[in-house]
Structure 1
Amino acid sequence: MRFVLRLLTTIAIALGVGFGLSYYALTDGRLFGAVSLGPWTAWPDIGAPAPNPYTRGHIAREAALQLGRSEGLQFIARTDSDGAALDLACSYRLDGHMPISTFWTLSAVDAEWINLAAPGTDAALRSSEIARTDDGAVRIHVGTRLRPSNWLELAGEGPFSLVLNLYDTTALSGFSSADMVMPSVTLEDCA
């Protein structure tokens, strides 16, 4: 009787751990195929001819058109640099250098990937439109309330994600990836 109880307990633990890790890999998966740099997360194998199984699960779950490896890389931030979820009731500031790329865009989306750009504005902020500091860094304000300089104007309410698309980039493709730095996402204020 004791043997059967231990066997059933072992099977239950194995199934729980197995299904739990599978669920995590398919819903979040940052430990298995994604790369996180501060609040930014990217899936570098997404455009590979034969991505790893966790990346394939992520592609199937997202069901979105993805960039090929030679086309670019997409980074997503769902939190600020302190780990708090991004919320449209607050304003944020991106500070720092963008990874090397020919061109990049920054946009904001909700949970259903609907663009949150304010009506009458561009859907994304483009690298060709940005005023930079003397050392080439960017400072971009993101939110629903007017800010000076570079501003990604948003509309709506609730949580959102920032999407940074790097086109024709060397980010995460070689030896320089270890010291790659992404812009910080800092909370400015909340309404």
Structure 2
Amino acid sequence: MLLVALLVGFGLSWYALSDGRLFGAIEIGPWSAWRDVGVPAPDPYTRAFIARSGALELGASEGIQFIATTDSDNRRLDRACRYRIDGTTPAARFWTLVPVAPGDGAPITRENGPTDFHSARLSRAGDGSVELYVSKTLSPQNWLEITGDGAFDLVLTLYDTSSLSGVGADVAALPSIIREACA
């Protein structure tokens, strides 16, 4: 009985610190974020996540960071595939979208090329939506070339946003991540 209690206790603690979406994070499609990062008194799970990740996080009034590790069909993002990020972003003064290596968060874009998409450097549709491509192969319009092999993550950072601030505030929608083809 003691062994079962220890396994369950340590297992849930490990989950809360490594993934923790059931405890302190929010999920919108394939995107997840920690709502209480940057507030003066975050919940214990958010505090543990910040301590474990060791990252310098944005303050609550500065913005929020969403991370996607899977596409909209819940398949792990793979550098051998071409992805279309399609839709709109919540209201924000500025945003960036960066493909990074899992674990260390290093950008995986080609050397001497653009490292990210940002709200000021892309073409939009007439309704304000975006269609972005992340792949190793040439793609139309807004394209970011990635390098290497294996899995990757997408990091969407919204700066100076009113999304998720205040009582009852919520993000209406985030772009979908569609796998189009794999090599």
Cα distance, 1:130 vs structure 2: 1.6
User: Are the equivalent residues in 1 in contact too, given 2:95–2:159 (CA < 8 A)?
Assistant: yes
In structure 1, what is the equivalent of residue 146 of structure 2?
154
Structure 1 unaligned spans of 5+:
1-8
Q: Which amino acid aligns with 1:104?
A: W
What is the aligned-residue identity percentage?
A: 52
The structural deviation recorded for 1:151 is 0.9
Say whether 1:134 aligns with 2:126.
Answer: yes
Deviation at 1:176, TM superposition (A): 4.2
Q: Deviation of residue 86 (structure 1)?
A: 0.3
Counterpart AA for 1:127: S
After TM superposition, the runs of 4+ consecutive aligned structure 1 residues lying more than 6 A away are none
* Residues 19-76 of structure 1, C-alpha deviations (whole Å, 9 max, x = no match): 2111110111001110010000011211111111111111111111111111110000
**Cα RMSD (Å):** 1.2
More helix by share: 1
Partner of 2:69: 78
How big is the shift at 1:18?
Answer: 1.5
Deviations 1:77-132 (A, max 9, x none): 00000000001000100111101100001101102211111111122111011211
TM-score by length of 2: 0.95
What is the count of residue pairs matched by the alignment? 181
Deviation at residue 139 of structure 1 after TM alignment: 0.5
**1:26 corresponds to which residue?**
17
Asked which structure has the greater CA Rg, the reply is: 1
**Helix, strand or coil at the partner of 1:129:** coil
Q: Is 1:164 the equivalent of 2:156?
A: yes
What is the rounded CA distance, in whole Å, between the counterparts of 1:140 and 1:176 in structure 2? 27
Q: CA deviation at 1:16?
A: 2.3
